[in-house]
Amino acid sequence: MKKQFLHEDHNRQDKAKKPDYGPEIIERGRSEPPNVTQRLVAKAEAKRDTIRRWRRKKFFSAGKVLKLGWPLEHFAKMNSMSPQFPETKVAYDNLRAMAERDMERIAAGVMKGTARQHRLFGAFVSPYVAWECSADIECDEIK
């Protein structure tokens, strides 16, 4: 019984030391929810941002790696190949075409997906897109 009263006494001491936040909350007020147009624009931007992030990834196939922005010389350097050989150009063209097709499928999946929002830390909202891509991705791996 004595322990319970000691606990309650400590709670009263803590409350006495803490400032009162009530007047500040009343003065600041609640944040206004965004209107429908702002929500739709935010969802579309979240989808575009997801596609941009996927375009920066590396596409792997047959032991070769490619990013969509790489020129032939950089592709050859990253895969320990010589840019003068015709096999390098053929491998680059094949992997680039494969990556572009995969990126089109990924973009279509993202655009069909649903954009939602995570509420983090009270008023901070982080959008994300829940999407699925069919199993017809041609590259071995995308990182």
Give me the helices (H) in 1-131, please. Answer: 2-17, 22-28, 36-55, 72-78, 86-112
56-108 per-position pLDDT tens digit: 988 888 888 888 889 989 989 888 888 888 898 999 999 999 999 988 888 88
Number of compact structural domains in the chain = 1
Torsion of CA 128, 61, 92, 102, to 10 degrees: -40
Residue 51 in domain: yes
Residue 120 in domain: yes
* Segments forming the whole domain that contains residue 137: 30-142
Residue 3 in domain: no
Residue 124 in domain: yes
Residue 62 in domain: yes
Residue 25 in domain: no
Residue 90 in domain: yes
**Threshold 0.75, pTM exceeds:** no
pLDDT of residue 138: 75
Residue 104 in domain: yes
99: CB partners within 8 A, 6+ apart: 59, 66, 68, 139
69: CB partners within 8 A, 6+ apart: 55
Q: Could you tell me the pLDDT band of residue 10, with boundaries at 50, 70 and 90? A: confident
Instruction: Kindly state the average pLDDT of the residues 4-16.
Output: 71
Instruction: Kindly state the average pLDDT of the residues 24-41.
Output: 70
